[in-house]
Chain A
Amino acid sequence: GNSVTQMEGPVTLSEEAFLTINCTYTATGYPSLFWYVQYPGEGLQLLLKATKADDKGSNKGFEATYRKETTSFHLEKGSVQVSDSAVYFCALMGSNSGYALNFGKGTSLLVTP
């Protein structure tokens, strides 16, 4: 079946540091890949997406590239801010799994001033 594996958190970074959160997936066919962000006490917000191999999703300074050869979709940001502190979820929607999103366990990020 489909699954997503994310790096364990929490991740603590100083403001303006470089961020990478690793995400790898297992899926049949050609899944679509997503990063969602969850701020404390809130629901999930779509951060970025990629629907086919080599696509790069980007938003608010965050980027992730769909790498089919390594089955990865790592999230990166060149310079994090305190306001980026949140939990980040990698997710996939399989091409043959209807509408279900399979989420990773989430990675908590804390950015300190």
Chain B
Amino acid sequence: DAMVIQNPRYQVTQFGKPVTLSCSQTLNHNVMYWYQQKSSQAPKLLFHYYDKDFNNEADTPDNFQSRRPNTSFCFLDIRSPGLGDAAMYLCATSRVDIYEQYFGPGTRLTVT
């Protein structure tokens, strides 16, 4: 089945220690997104890629970076995680001509 895969499902990192979260897709979608979802809150878009074009949301902290080396993969880098960055990170994909976004299962990040 075509799908969106996120690895790892659970990640524990130390305060200030860089961490990378991974997303891959077999849907061949043009657009890939990263959302942050804190406990009992709505997902918040951090940024998205339309093919190789990177689009950052205005209020996304500089601490968050992203890479998309090819159509299938997208990475979220947190350069210096703080306690406030503990959250579920959701990757999603869509085709440019269809509005539906397909979500991965998420990576739950804990910062100690």
A interface residues (Cβ-Cβ under 8 A, vs B): 32, 34, 36, 42-46, 49, 51, 89, 93, 98-101, 103-106
18 contacts between A and B (CB under 8 A): A34-B99, A43-B105, A43-B106, A44-B92, A45-B103, A89-B42, A89-B43, A98-B48, A98-B55, A99-B33, A99-B50, A99-B94, A100-B45, A101-B43, A101-B45, A103-B44, A105-B41, A106-B41
Contacts of A42 in B (CB 8 A): 105-106
Contact indicator A43/B41 (Cβ below 8 Å) = no
Q: CB within 8 A of B103: which of A44, A98, A106?
A: A44
Closest chain A residue to B106 by CB distance?
A43
Closest to A42 in B: B105
Instruction: Please encode chain B, from 30 to 63, with 1 for each CB lying within 8 Å of some chain A CB and 0 for all others.
Output: 0101000000111111001010000101000000
In the complex, the answer to whether A44 meets B99 with C-beta atoms within 8 Å is: no
Which residues of the other chain, A, contact B45 by a CB distance below 8 angstroms? 100-101
B86 CB to closest chain A CB (Å) equals 16
- Cα of A36 to Cα of B35 in the assembled complex, Å: 14
Contact surface of B with A, Cβ cutoff 8 Å: 4, 6, 31, 33, 40-45, 48, 50, 55, 57, 90, 92, 94, 96, 99-106
Q: Is the CB of A43 within 8 A of B104?
A: yes
Residues on A with C-beta less than 8 A from B40 are: 106
Which residues from chain A contact B96 at a C-beta distance below 8 Å?
A: 99
- Could you say which residues of chain B place their CB within 8 Å of the CB of A46? 100-102
Residues of A close to B44: CB separation below 8 A = 103
Instruction: Give complex CA distance A79, B44 in Å.
Output: 31
Say how far A48's CB is from chain B's closest CB, in angstroms. Answer: 10
